[in-house]
Structure 1
Amino acid sequence: MAQKLLLIDTDCGIDDALAIIVALAAPGVKVLGITCCFGNTDVDNVCQNVMRVLTVCQQTQVPVFKGAAGALIGPVTGFKDHFGTDGLGDVLEKTEIWKEQIQKEHAVRAMIRLVNENQGEVSLIALGPLTNLALAIRLDPSFPQKLKDLYIMGGNMEGKGNLTPTAEFNFRMDPESAYVVLEEYTCSTHIATWEFTCRNKLSWECFDEMVNQDTAAARFMKKITSKCWAYSREPRTINKDLLFGNGFVPYDAFAVAACLDSSVITESLQCAVRMEVEGQLGRGMMVVDAANTLKKDHLAFVMRTCDLKKFSLMLKAALQIA
C-alpha cells in the first residue's frame, strides 16, 4: 500500500503539538513537511515548538519551514495566552537552536514545491490561521487542484465564538485568508469546527491515561499541559451549552485523526460555507449554508459527530511512540 502523504500547516500550540505527534505516529504515513505561521504565538516560537515536538518524537528529519508572521490585512496584533505566551505552556527552556534546524526556503514556496512534486497525493492539514494557504493560491492559482484533499481545524457552525461572540480563533486571526481558502480551494475540504471539537471532548480520565504512559511523548504532553490555565479542570460555561473544565478538548487532533482515518468521523454535513469579513460582531464568523442559497459549486464537509472510542485510542497509541 502506498504511503499517505501529509503536509501540516500549524501555529504550534499545545493542541497542535498533540496533533503533530498523532500524524508522526501513524503507520503508513509520511509527513513531507511542516509549515509554520503565527497564531497561538509568534511565528518564531511556532518554529521552535515544532522542532521541540520533532525532537521528542525523534523525527527531526521532517523539514520545517517558517511562514507568515501576520495576517494578510492589518498589523500584527497581540497574541493570546490560551496555551501560554510561548504556545507550549511556558514550561520549556527557550533556545536559538531552532534557527539552525529549520529550512531556509519560505513556507509558502515549500508548500507549492512539495505539492507539485506529489500532485494529487498530498493531504494538507491546516491547524492555525490560513494565511500560508491563501498566499499559496495567490502565488499558484492551480495549487488547490493539485492537492488530494484539505482538512481544517477552524471556524464555527452555529455562530458561537471563542475569540469574539461569533468567531473562532483561527479564522478570526485572519478572516481574509479564511475567505480566500473557503472560496477558492475546490479540492475535497473537511472542517472540524470549534463547536464540533467542544462537543466531542474526552474525559479527564482518558487524558490522564494518555499522559501518564511511560514514554517521552507522554511525558512531554504532561509537562506542557501542567501549568496551562486552558487545562484547568474547574467547570466553566461559554455560550450556554459548550461546557469547559469537565473534559479535555484536543482541538487540532480532530482534523489529523479525520485525515488519517475517515471512520473516526461518524457524521458530516456537506454544505456551502463562507467566511464573513465585515461587521462589528460578525467578522470572522463562518456561515454554514445548508440550503446552499449561495449557489456554490464547491461544498465542504463540516464534521458533526465523532467515534470517541476510536479517536481516544488513536491519541493514546500516538503517545506510545517514544
Structure 2
Amino acid sequence: MAKKLVIIDTDCGIDDAQAIMMALAAPNIEILGVTCVFGNAAVKNVCQNVLRVLSVCEREQIPVFKGSGGPLVGASNTISDHFGTDGLGDVLEDRDPQWEDKIQREHAVNAMIRLVSENQKQVSLVALGPLTNLALAVRLDPCFPEKLKDLYIMGGNMEGKGNVTLCAEFNFAMDPESAYIVLEEFLCTTHLASWEYSCRNALKWEFFDELINQDAPAARFMKTITSKCWAYSKEAMVNKRDVYFGPGFVSYDAYAMAACIDGSVVTESIECPVRVELQGSICRGMMALDRTNSLKKSHTIFVMTKCNVAKFSQLLMESLRQPCKKSP
C-alpha cells in the first residue's frame, strides 16, 4: 500500500513533539517535510525543537524549513510559556550550535507550495500551530488549497471556551487573520481538532505515567521535557481546562495527527461552515460554528467531536517506542 504523504506545519512545543513522533512511528505515513512557525516558542527555537525530535527518533533525513516568525498582520504576540520559554520545558542544555546548518535554505512557505505542487492531490497537510504559513501560501499561490488532498488542523474552539483569552484558543488567538483566511479560502476537505474536542477526550494521568516510562529513547526524551513543565503536572494549579472539563492528560496536537494517520480514531464530527471572529476585545480569534447556515457559505469543514480513545492511546504508546530496535 502506498504511504500517505504528509507535511507537518508546527510551532513545536511539547505536544507538537508528541504529534511529530506519532507520525514518525506510523508505518502508513511518509513525511515530506516539516515547516516551522512561531507560536509555542520563537521560530528559531521551533526549528531547533523539530531537529531535536527528529534526532531522537533517528529520522534526521526529513527536511526542516524555517517559516513565519510572527502573525500575518500587526505586532507579534507575546510568546506563551505554557511549555517553557523554549517550547520544550526549558530542560535541554545540549543545544546544537550548528543547528542553522541543518535547516533548509528554502523558506517554509515556498517549500510547502513546491512540495504540494509536485504531488498534487496527494499531500495531507497537518497544521499544529498558528496558521500563518498556510495563509501566506494561499496568498502566494491562490491555487495551493485545491492542490492538497486534505487538511488537518489543531486549533480553534466550538463553544467560545478559550484557553489563552476568554473566548479564543491559543493557535487561533496568535494569528486570527491567518485562521480566518485558511477557514475561508482552503476549500479542500478540512478536519479540525478543537480545544474542546481535545479536552473532552483527555486521558488519565496514570496513562501518562505509563506512556513516558516506557523503555525507549523517545519515551525518555518525553519524560525529560515534561519533567519540569507545569502543564504536565497533575498537581499543578487549577487552569481553565480543569475548570471547564476536569483534570486529565491532554496532548492537544496529537489529536489532529491521529485523525490524519487513522480516520477511524474520530468517531463523530459536525460538518458545517465556520468563521473566525476578527473583532472585539473578548471574542477576537474565536471560531464560530454555523450549524443553521446563517452565513450562507458553500464550504463546510469537519469539526471533530468524539474520539476512539483506545485507538488514540495506542498511537500515543507506539509513538514513544522509537527508534525501533534494528534486527541484528
* TM-score (normalised: structure 1): 0.98
Q: Does 1:185 align with 2:186?
A: yes
Matching residue's letter, 2:128: L
- Conserved 8 A contact 1:167-1:283: yes
Post-superposition Cα deviations, 1:286-314, rounded to whole Å, max 9, x if no partner, equal 01111121111110000001010110011
Separation of aligned partners in 1, 2:297 and 2:243: 31
Percent of pairs with identical residues: 64
Matching residue's letter, 1:27: P
Alignment counterpart, residue 240 of structure 2, candidates 229, 238, 258: 238
- Give the aligned partner of residue 20 of structure 2: 20
- Give the aligned partner of residue 130 of structure 2: 129
> Secondary structure of 2:273's match?
strand
Matching residue's letter, 1:133: L
- Give the aligned partner of residue 47 of structure 1: 47
Separation of aligned partners in 2, 1:238 and 1:91: 25
Separation of aligned partners in 2, 1:239 and 1:233: 12
Post-superposition Cα deviations, 1:241-263, rounded to whole Å, max 9, x if no partner, equal 5245x311000000000011010
Matching residue's letter, 2:65: F
Separation of aligned partners in 2, 1:76 and 1:189: 27
- Conserved 8 A contact 1:237-1:243: no
- Conserved 8 A contact 1:154-1:192: yes
Separation of aligned partners in 2, 1:87 and 1:216: 19
Matching residue's letter, 1:212: N
CA RMSD of aligned residues (A): 1.1
- Give the aligned partner of residue 143 of structure 1: 144
CA displacement at 1:205 relative to structure 2: 1.2
- Give the aligned partner of residue 257 of structure 2: 256
> Secondary structure of 1:23's match?
helix
Q: Does 1:157 align with 2:158?
A: yes
The equivalences for 1:59-138 within 5 A come to 59-93=59-93, 94-138=95-139
Separation of aligned partners in 2, 1:174 and 1:96: 30
Separation of aligned partners in 1, 2:170 and 2:221: 25
- Give the aligned partner of residue 227 of structure 2: 226
Q: Does 1:169 align with 2:170?
A: yes
Matching residue's letter, 1:131: T
Separation of aligned partners in 2, 1:115 and 1:238: 38
Seen in structure 2, the aligned counterparts of structure 1 residues 74 and 257 have a Cα distance that, compared at 3 Å, is: same
Separation of aligned partners in 2, 1:217 and 1:28: 19
- Give the aligned partner of residue 31 of structure 2: 31
Separation of aligned partners in 2, 1:33 and 1:158: 33
CA displacement at 1:96 relative to structure 2: 2.4
- Conserved 8 A contact 1:236-1:243: no
Count of aligned positions: 321
Matching residue's letter, 2:147: K
- Conserved 8 A contact 1:5-1:30: yes
Q: 203-212 or 130-139: which moved more?
A: 203-212
* TM-score (normalised: structure 2): 0.96
Separation of aligned partners in 2, 1:241 and 1:306: 21
- Give the aligned partner of residue 6 of structure 2: 6
> Secondary structure of 2:146's match?
helix
Post-superposition Cα deviations, 1:92-127, rounded to whole Å, max 9, x if no partner, equal 023322201110000000000000010000000000
Gaps of 5+ in 2: 324-328
- Conserved 8 A contact 1:25-1:318: yes
- Give the aligned partner of residue 57 of structure 1: 57
Separation of aligned partners in 2, 1:24 and 1:88: 18
Runs of 4+ more than 6 Å apart:
none
- Give the aligned partner of residue 216 of structure 1: 217
Separation of aligned partners in 2, 1:99 and 1:146: 30
Post-superposition Cα deviations, 1:113-168, rounded to whole Å, max 9, x if no partner, equal 00001000000000000000000000000000000000000000000101110000
- Conserved 8 A contact 2:199-2:241: no
- Conserved 8 A contact 1:12-1:49: yes
